[in-house]
Structure 1
Amino acid sequence: MLDSALEVTVGDGVQFQFTVVNGSDRPVELTFRDACKVDYAVYEGDDEVGAEVWRYSDDRMFAQVLTNADLQPGETATFEETWPNPDPGDYTAEATLRVVEHDVSARTPFSV
């Protein structure tokens, strides 16, 4: 079982910290689809998900290579990224671990 959490810090840009924890008593194998291990998306509004206003992977190219990683029991993996120039407003951030075997994501509202 993979648990996840997304922390958002507003300062010089918006910093995202996505944490994934193996909460099981067995190792979990992760197969990443490409070199982009996590994708971040920002949507308008803080309740229901509105229109998408920013996505980390937009206009970027990633090496198309499958890579594997093992997450041991109790082990944590942390991924960070920054949204550099947000407009003021209320948003919802979503982080998604881009692996083949599992659906792992987390959402959180924030304001700029």
Structure 2
Amino acid sequence: MTLSGSLSATVSDDAVEFEYAVANDGSEAVDLQFSDSQTHEVVVFEDGEEVWSFSDDRMFMQMLQSESIAPGDAVTYAATWEDAPAGEYEARAWLTANDVDCEAATSFTV
């Protein structure tokens, strides 16, 4: 299984939009198994301290779900941080799928 991730942050006047793309670079389909309705996490750090996360104040349905990524295909997940204060940040994203590691990071300024 060969997954690669990339994370971008687009800053506007009222929000930061994150796009986390996960690509299957392998020759076989990758089946992702999730324990609940959360598929990914995005966490923002300032000077090494967590200041925001996608899952804060959210509830996720307790359900099993799966998603398959064909060879050469990618899936994209989104997250929005509204009213982000000015500063320099690092964001990290990862899949919440069982037994799968795929992380990405990016730095950005608000």
TM-score range for the pair, normalised by the shorter chain length: over 0.9
* 1:92 paired residue number: 90
Query: What is the correspondence of 1:16-55 to structure 2 with a 5 Å cutoff?
Result: 16-45=18-47, 50-55=48-53
Specify the SS of the correspondent of 1:96: strand
User: In the TM superposition, what is the alpha-carbon distance from 1:39 to its structure 2 partner?
Assistant: 1.0
When the two structures are superposed, what TM-score results if normalisation uses the length of structure 2?
0.94
When the two structures are superposed, what TM-score results if normalisation uses the length of structure 1?
0.92
Structure 2 unaligned regions, length at least 5? none
Separation in structure 2 between the aligned mates of residue 95 and residue 64 of structure 1, nearest angstrom = 21
Separation in structure 2 between the aligned mates of residue 37 and residue 90 of structure 1, nearest angstrom = 26
Separation in structure 2 between the aligned mates of residue 21 and residue 90 of structure 1, nearest angstrom = 28
Letter in 1 for 2:8: E
User: Alignment partner for residue 104 of structure 2, among 78, 87, 106?
Assistant: 106
RMSD: 0.9
**Percent of aligned positions that are identical:** 39
Moved over 6 A (4+): none
Separation in structure 1 between the aligned mates of residue 73 and residue 99 of structure 2, nearest angstrom = 18
